[in-house]
Structure 1
């Protein structure tokens, strides 16, 4: 899991690479795997730069195309609707995190304290799921 805090007026897609670089998957041998097999994101992350970077790393890109992007005749890969449906797990997690007042409305002055509250909320959700 990774959390990146940005200013409210900044677009999410600017922080996508930084967010993905901080992810890690624990392997059975104890080492961290730093690359995932696929990235599922909403239309807010639809950019040619992000798609090309992920494809160059061998990562499957599951991001819906924006309505103003070029037509399908440009050789785009068909969108995988079945896999994209799994994104609801992430959206439900955001909803559960925002049930906590200190996360939904930022009361902390410093970014460090706010990220700590978000991480505590994530730990609480994780413990609730396994217990």
Structure 2
């Protein structure tokens, strides 16, 4: 069975990478805009100021139950990460970044994330 908490953590790794890239290429205001838009897909994170803290918690493998999303919410978040990444960075750059993140995920996350991705393609 796929652990949705691990899938949420994988998405936080992706968001971290995309936010850094948007900030480096387009500036702080665009990174804030990206963050505000993505929060619409993460109802468990109350505000943009909370997003970096949740990402840090996810990456340190601290308790994150209160932020984890349902399966359907994770599917929406996944689509929004790709859509917004494409909007801000272009589809090709977004795919490169997300592939790079997926390749570097901790082993504890990677197995479940790969299984989850395969399920999404069915």
TM-score of the superposition, structure 1-length normalised? 0.25
TM-score of the superposition, structure 2-length normalised? 0.27
Bigger fraction of residues in helix = 2
Q: Between Structure 1 and Structure 2, whose CA radius of gyration is higher?
A: 1
Q: Higher relative CO (CA 8 A, sep ≥ 6), structure 1 or 2?
A: 2
